[in-house]
Amino acid sequence: MVKKYESSHENSSHIKADVIILGCSLPGIVTAHKLKKKFGNTMDIVVLDLAGKQSRESKCNVAFLEEDKEENREISYDGNGTAKEIIDNVARHYLAMFAKDFDIPLPDAIIAPEKVRTPLNKLFEYKNGTTVACVRDFHEFDYLNVLEKFELNQYHALLDEHMKALFQGNKVDEDSERNRLLYYDQTTMEKHICGALLFPNSRDIMRNAVRLVCGASAKIVSVLFYLHQCYRSSSSRNHFDGNNTKFREKLHGYCRKRLTYKLQKSVANITLTAKAIKKISSNTDEQVILKTIKGDTNYVCSLLAMALKPDELRNIEFETQLLTEREFSIITSMIKGKAKRFIVQYEEHFWRKEGYSGDILSIRGPIIWATERPKTSSTGSMEKYAALIGYLTVKNNEDDSKDAVLKQLVRLFGEEAATPINYKETDISDIYVPRCGDFIALRRLTLKPNPKYLEWGALDVFADGDVASALEAGHVAYLHLLRYLRPQAQTFDEICIAEWPTMLNDNPFREWLAQLSITSSIRLLAYTTVAYIGIRLIQSLMRK
């Protein structure tokens, strides 16, 4: 039972608990839900809601998955006979896990996109307005010329090899690997793209991919942060693909709304509404004290889990032993990634008559990526209109892009696209992007396994855009707290869920082959030529 008592020193009351989760963000309430489910009434757990009540449950009628709920999981065995789980997509796995816990149905377009594949053509648009239709997945890039496709595939292979070397090996603590991590974090994605890719189309495709994955331009994102985001989906190749889970979950708010509603309901009896926190400090009894405005309630706990967004920390004062000035600077200076979503509705799917699926990938804009709005009802009752949804380029001004979008759709699909029934644009608050050079320190902070006072694993760096990442962050924070509070309570399944995917196997030959590209070949040819000329000059001088 949470204890409440009056302070004899100050004109305020204190509420005391074993664990306090500060903030009602999605990672925070995931952490609280898992702790409550594990400990029940044997431990005092409190959630402090600084923002008041959240939005109500979405009314969307989504299609149920009746079969193959475990299709994305399979068990293999290593050489010692130990079972290990192979997860084909981390994002899909977390969505499926929590949807199953709360009996929340998810449409096939999100959880099993391979079931909704279509033989209709996808469209790729070049910067000059030229379009190419293709049936295969976007990441095959069949519409590019031979050299462009070769170097883009090689670049993706190179990124995948970097991901395996940097994350899957768990070698962050080794000196050589730490130096490599520091190199990637000091190098912006834009420099990496320009250094490895020769053709403008290949470069523009990768710049679009970075913006879609991170919600920010390639000039802002470090290579390491981009690799980390791609690694969660097991590959850098699947971010333009019809099988991609992450675009689907970002464009369907009901996934977040329904999950948030169910989670909030499960922790409602341990959630308290609190006023703004002014200071977080500790005392000699190894307790954390959260002070609100003078005369209001203060909160005391043994362990505090931070579940706020980075920009919400700026008005809170921390003791140095809890958060150093450098760590505070890293967290609060993260750039808020931003994406813009559009939805346009028509009376019928006229693009299908022309043999098009509605999928668009454009490096011209304003539409960057789009798809048909996935079916949201098993009975079809909600399918009143045909619709396209997708991402738009984000401009400095906040003007509506409707005219430019319709003009682009007319160019792609014909005059019928000029008269929609409805058009709407909305901003998506995407992930918070660390500055180049800060990602390693942030990763060490949020993955610290044994917090003494503060647990940062539930810091909501994923904001509104990346639902699965927020679920994962909450689960990781729960594991950290559980390991600190009661290590023997951990289960094998809970630990396995948080492990990185294991399907990317090491292959020395593939690692060497990934280094082969047009730019590397040109460099090798240049070095060979210089070496040959140098040898010939030396031989000539020696003869003289």
- The CATH number corresponding to 145-241+507-544 among 1.10.540.10, 1.20.1330.10, 3.90.79.10, 1.10.405.10 equals 1.10.405.10
> Between residues 517 and 175, which one has the greater pLDDT?
517
Half-sphere exposure of 403 (CA within 13 A, CB side): 2
Residue 394, amino acid = V
Return the CATH architecture of domain 3-59+252-334+435-497.
3-Layer(bba) Sandwich (3.50)
Confidence of residue 85 (pLDDT cuts 50, 70, 90): very low
Beta carbons of 327 and 42 less than 8 angstroms apart: no
> Between residues 514 and 331, which one has the greater pLDDT?
331
Q: Which of 105, 98, 104, 90 has its CA nearest to residue 33?
A: 98
Highest mean pLDDT among 10-14, 27-31, 498-502, 520-524 belongs to: 27-31
Beta carbons of 45 and 18 less than 8 angstroms apart: yes
Q: What is the CATH number of domain 112-137+335-432?
A: 3.90.660.10
Determine how many CB atoms are found less than 10 A away from the CB of residue 48. Answer: 25
User: Kindly report the CA angle at 444 between 435 and 27, in degrees rounded to 5?
Assistant: 85
Q: Which of 525, 520, 447 has its CA nearest to residue 198?
A: 520
CA distance linking residue 187 with residue 201, whole number of Å: 22
- Least confident piece of the model among 78-82, 282-286, 343-347, 534-538: 78-82
pLDDT for 356 equals 94
CA distance linking residue 442 with residue 433, whole number of Å: 11
Query: pLDDT by residue (tens digit) across 286-341?
Result: 788 888 876 677 899 999 999 999 988 988 999 888 888 899 999 999 988 888 89
Question: How much is the average pLDDT of 533-538?
Answer: 88
Beta carbons of 45 and 32 less than 8 angstroms apart: yes
Whether residue 217 is predicted with pLDDT greater than 80 in this model: the reply is: yes
Task: State the average pLDDT for the chain.
Answer: 81
Token pair of 137 as six digits: 């997945």
Whether residue 82 is predicted with pLDDT greater than 50 in this model: the reply is: no
The domain locations on the chain are 3-59+252-334+435-497, 112-137+335-432, 145-241+507-544
Beta carbons of 412 and 123 less than 8 angstroms apart: yes
